[in-house]
Structure 1
Amino acid sequence: MHQAALLGTAIKDAKKYGWQVPGPIGHDWETMAKAVQNHVRSLNWGHRVQLQDKKVKYLNAKGSLVNEHTVKGLTKAGKETVLTAKNIVIATGGRPKYPTNIPGALEHGITSDDIFWLKEAPGKTLVVGASYVALECAGFLTGFGLDTTVLVRSIALRGFDQQMAGLVTDYMKAYGTKFAWKHVLKRVDKLPTGELQVTWTNSQSKEDETEKYDSVLWAVGRAPETKALGLDMVGVRLNKETEKIVVGNDDSTSVPNIYALGDISEGRPELTPTAIKAGKLLARRLAEHSNQLMNYDNVATTVFTPMEYGCVGLSEEEAERRHGKDGIEVYHAFYKPLEYTVAERDANQCYIKAVCERGGEQKILGLHFTGPNAGEVTQGFALGFQCGATFSHLMETVGIHPTCAEELTKLHITKRSGLDATVTGC
């Protein structure tokens, strides 16, 4: 869906590159939704075929623990299956949360899980939340030409570098997404017209305000469904606040033969690739083929907002907290992607920074990039973190011209200097 929205922008840019695009540009939700849903179904089918090829028995049932070596599975038809095993791995992930204290939230709202399966466009949409899920959904809905507002209680992209978060939301505002900052939602009511009337409190004016929407999308975090797993039956320890499973470095729980992976585990990044990698390593350990543990440091990620943001390593705030303000050096640059030039697109939010240790070899602590194809750029540089990359290594790397990633190899202006960091030429 992110790609679909980017194509809309590309079609507009194409005219300035000489392409004759007839008629007004419009987007058909139904065509896109069918294509996306068919792709997801094909992925699911592919996984099942691979499991069968590897002689892994797949059971589509809801599982719960009976004891530390026994799992009971219940199908939709009510058929019960009981399985016993030496080791049990829990990797059930999480589900989007609905607020429990807001009248109408559950009855009239949808989540990010639902948005991909809607048969019709959601219309004028209020996205509640400011996580990467909230901003990604709001971004592609805006890209389809839908009136979209993001309601933010506090800050955007909590846990990410806040300067970069500001660039992302600034671009989104220029892109057409509306933001309601410092607002607390109170209730959602369905009107006789079918519209949803939303009431929120403006934290600045302290007054209640109302607005009408066609859809309200909750993106206020995800929660594990640990209560349904029977964990209390066997004594698997949970974090009482998050309801996630407490795990050790080897993904073990408080019960020696039960392990937990991915989003359901306390303190783990809520990212699919980390869960996949951790699962592979756990399988090798259980099969006694390896002793290698998962390394959760310096995991790269990308926020697929209209202006993509990729990062690996520490945020500037976290680096300063660990090393002190005088213990880090931040190299940065504002740059203009080549594809923005002819299209005359605003590049004010295209920005790169490398957060480094100050002095010595200047080990790179964090890399941050906003711009086209941020995921592709960040994935490549993430390898350097596994090799202990320094600022000197970065400067010794020859760039590929004319790419955006090349600008990382040309960083030379520090924040401390106060000099203009705008790239003006080769």
Structure 2
Amino acid sequence: FLKLLVIKKTFLLQLFQSLMPLLENSLIYLFHLFLDDGPSIQQVLVELTNQRTVPNVFVNGKHIGGCDATYKAYENGTLQKLLGNVKDAETYDYDLIIIGGGSGGLACSKEAATLGKKVMVLDYVVPTPLGTTWGLGGTCVNVGCIPKKLMHQAALLGQALKDSRAYGWQYEEQVKHNWETMVEAVQNYIGSLNWGYRLSLREKSVTYQNSYGEFVEPHKVKATNRKGQVTYHTAETFVLATGERPRYLGIPGDKEYCITSDDLFSLPYCPGKTLVVGASYVALECAGFLAGLGLDVTVMVRSILLRGFDQEMAEKIGAHMETHGVTFIRKFVPTQVERLEDGTPGRLKVTAKCTEGPEIFEGEYNTVLLAIGRDACTRNIGLQTIGVKINEKNGKVPVNDEEQTNVPYVYAIGDILDGKLELTPVAIQAGKLLARRLYGGSSTKCDYINVPTTVFTPLEYGSCGLAEEKAKEEYGEQNLEVYHSLFWPLEWTIPGRDNNTCYAKIICNKLDSNRVVGFHVLGPNAGEVTQGFAAAIKCGLTKELLDETIGIHPTCAEVRAKRALFKTYL
């Protein structure tokens, strides 16, 4: 049953020519501007669709668009699906196929299966240039959040051992770290998570295939496994959840001799003297825990630390890391990496050039870790075959507020979304809510505003809301009040370390009752502290409410809840 709202008479002929094969036994309603109520109909259409051009086509209450969009819907099969009585309507192998078995893809698949749909997950890890690969669960579980936090904890334990002497602990045995023992323990835990994910999919009757998914035609993908065996599968709906992989420099020796975070967490030998290239959160986190394990670590920075984060906080993190033995080489980029000596780890020579002058740097290291950013895994999965648009600059996928791409039956979630946050909990939330909208009658959309996060550098950094630079752009510096405080955790007073290092600040909008638009804290357990304040910010936290909140004493979190410790930032 087809309902069409057509505003332009001259479009009728072209529309009928395109749709005539589909219009048998269908009923057509035509509304023209020459009708008395034409302008009011047009206004309603604008409100419904946000489309001011004509014609404006609806099928069974679903907005299609204009002439080009309608014809494209016919070409890609969407129109046929919407027409419930079209002869020989295609049936599919699955209701939903998800390409990518990371946190977002798994969350979406399990939710859709719970809602009674037939679901398949295709997940395949292309090995790194050094041959590293891993199991089901995506970046976070295998080469991201989980191993990163565990190795960060290993470094914190080393610091705790040093602090323990001041608290009266005595030990004679020489304390040293064993890299192989740590890696084995971390990988064993990750292995248990991989198995748990597979078991969870099986329990929910989700078909899992360790194969590389690639679109070959509308509603159809080719799946290629490790042995090169190919199968084909069709689905009514697809979700892209392919995530990202580390970027390489494109210089001689980078892929041959360097590693990335994809390799580090399962590296079978201690990396030794390490050069970390980059200043992303991945770079600083890895540099931080490597230094905390007692290694000689240097960070080579092209421009600024932690791009996209509050820069005052970023510089404080850098200063703290330098104080604790990490060397920073600023305004340099590598131009070549050469192997001087084989071995595990061996010996490498790095040549770099200054970004602001003719200076050349040369240095020798055992390991070079590249952490210069990540690229979306979207360019080699056949998206061009079915017409899904990507941002050609970064490979990311533009979507609407329901995570729908320009091709109606294809959705995307997670790190590949253009302009959205690259965080595991965000991908999980988006995946669940998408499945509920598709199959559960829900209308709830993922909220990408005021999402909390933490950078697990040696001095942990938790944040929620806007960086100070971004807040100034959005609200104007004259409309902001920034309150800040240095603090000294009680636990650090006995060993007498790092006084006036931990720091907190809130950014308030003076024009909105001093509502908190940015929250930032540097200190131990910053993630645990930030999570609670994130809920308050979601509820519209103001400076006044924060002042009225009684802190828990003695904790680091109380600093954010005690009026006397905040002073106006001039």
TM-score range, shorter chain: over 0.9
User: Does residue 1:170 correspond to 2:322, yes or no?
Assistant: no
Residue matched to 1:6: 156
The amino acid of 1:87's aligned partner reads T
Post-superposition CA distance 1:177-196 (Å, at most 9, x none): 11001112111011146411
Distance 1:360 1:232 in 2: 46
Structure 2 partner of 1:284:
436
Deviation (angstroms), 1:417? 6.0
Asked if 1:268 corresponds to 2:426, the answer is no
DSSP-derived class of the 1:32 partner: helix
Code of the residue aligned with 2:221 in structure 1: it is V
Q: 1:119 aligned to 268, 273, 279, which one?
A: 268
After TM superposition, the score normalised by the length of structure 2 is 0.72
Partner Cα distance (1:286, 1:68) in 2: 19
Matches within 5 A, 1:309-328: 309-328=461-480
Q: 1:298 maps to which residue?
A: 450
For 1:225 and 1:92, how far apart are their aligned partners in 2? 6
1:18 counterpart = 2:168:
yes
Q: Which residue of 2 aligns with 1:34?
A: 184
Deviation at 1:414, TM superposition (A): 6.0
1:207 deviates by 1.4
Q: What's the counterpart of residue 199 of structure 1?
A: 351
Specify the SS of the correspondent of 2:434: helix
Write the deviation string for residues 78-118 of structure 1: whole angstroms up to 9, x where unpaired: 22221111100010101111112x11111111000100010
Q: 1:409 aligns with which of 539, 554, 561?
A: 561
CA spacing shift, 1:411–1:153, aligned 2, 3 Å: farther
Q: Which runs of 5+ in 2 are unaligned?
A: 1-150
Verify the 8 A CA contact 1:312 1:382 in the aligned structure 2.
yes
Deviation track 1:245-285 (CA, whole Å, cap 9, x = no partner) reads 11111111111000011111211211111001000000001
CA distance in 1, matches of 2:174, 2:518: 43
Report how far residue 389 of structure 1 moved: 0.9
Give the Cα separation in 2 of the matches to 1:347 and 1:283: 49
RMSD between aligned residues: 1.3
Give the structure 1 partner of residue 404 of structure 2: 252
Partner of 2:298: 149
Q: Does structure 1 retain, via aligned residues, the 8 Å contact 2:482–2:569?
A: no
For the residues of structure 1 that align with 2:415 and 2:189, how far apart are their CA atoms? 24
Structure 1 residues 338-417: aligned runs within 5 Å: 338-358=490-510, 361-412=513-564, 416=568
Q: Which stretch shifts more, 287-296 or 162-171?
A: 287-296
Q: CA deviation at 1:202?
A: 3.0
Kept in 1: contact 2:464–2:530 (CA 8 A) = yes
CA contact (8 A) 1:312 1:367 kept: yes
User: 1:326 is paired with a residue of what secondary structure?
Assistant: helix
**Aligned residue type for 2:479:** G
More deviation, 368-377/263-272: 263-272
For the 8 Å contact 1:353–1:368, the answer to whether it is kept is yes
Q: For 2:512 and 2:428, how far apart are their aligned partners in 1?
A: 36
Q: Which residue number corresponds to residue 31 of structure 2?
A: none
User: Which SS does the other structure have where 1:86 is aligned?
Assistant: strand
- Other-structure match for 1:46: 196
Q: Distance in 2 between matches of 1:412 and 1:183?
A: 43
For the pair shown, the structure with the greater C-alpha radius of gyration is 2
Does 1:184 pair with 2:336? Answer: no
1:288 Cα offset (Å)? 3.5
Q: In structure 2, what is the equivalent of residue 88 of structure 1?
A: 238
Tell me how far apart the structure 2 counterparts of residues 415 and 233 of structure 1 sit (CA, whole Å): 58
Match of 1:209 in 2: 361
The answer on whether the counterparts of 1:131 and 1:158 sit within 8 Å (CA) in structure 2 is: yes
Q: Distance in 1 between matches of 2:368 and 2:458?
A: 20
2:221 pairs, out of 71, 82, 87, with: 71
Would you say the 8 A contact 1:2–1:140 is kept in 2? yes
Residues 17 and 343 of structure 1 are in contact (CA less than 8 Å); yes or no, is this contact kept in structure 2? yes
Rounded to whole Å, the distance in 1 between the matches of 2:360 and 2:431 is 48
Separation in structure 1 between the aligned mates of residue 499 and residue 451 of structure 2, nearest angstrom: 27
Q: How far apart, CA to CA, are the structure 1 residues paired with 2:456 and 2:172?
A: 29
Structure 2 residue identity aligned to 1:106: K
2:462 corresponds to which letter in structure 1? G
Kindly, what percent of the aligned residue pairs are identical?
A: 51
For residues 358 and 27 of structure 1, what CA distance do their matches in structure 2 show? 50
- The answer on whether the counterparts of 1:329 and 1:414 sit within 8 Å (CA) in structure 2 is no
| 8 Å contact kept, 2:214–2:381 | yes
The answer (yes or no) to whether the contact 1:138–1:177 under 8 Å persists in 2 is yes
Residue 22 of structure 1 deviates from its aligned partner by: 2.1
Matches within 5 A, 1:221-240: 221-240=373-392
- Using the TM superposition, name which of 406-415 and 208-217 deviates more: 406-415
Deviation at 1:20, TM superposition (A): 1.0
Distance 2:511 2:379 in 1: 50
Deviates more, 1:268-277 or 1:75-84: 75-84
AA at the equivalent of 1:232: Q
Of structures 1 and 2, the one with the larger relative CO (CA 8 A, separation 6+) is: 1
Specify the alignment match of 2:289 in structure 1.
Answer: 140
Aligned to 1:60: 210
Report the secondary structure of 1:395's partner residue.
helix
1:92-107 maps to which residues of 2 (within 5 A)?
Answer: 92-100=242-250, 102-107=251-256
**In the alignment, is the contact (CA less than 8 A) between 2:300 and 2:330 conserved in 1?**
yes
Q: Which residue of 1 aligns with 2:123?
A: none
SS of residue in 2 equivalent to 1:191: strand
In structure 2, what is the Cα distance between the partners aligned to 1:204 and 1:227?
Answer: 33
The number of equivalent residue pairs is 417
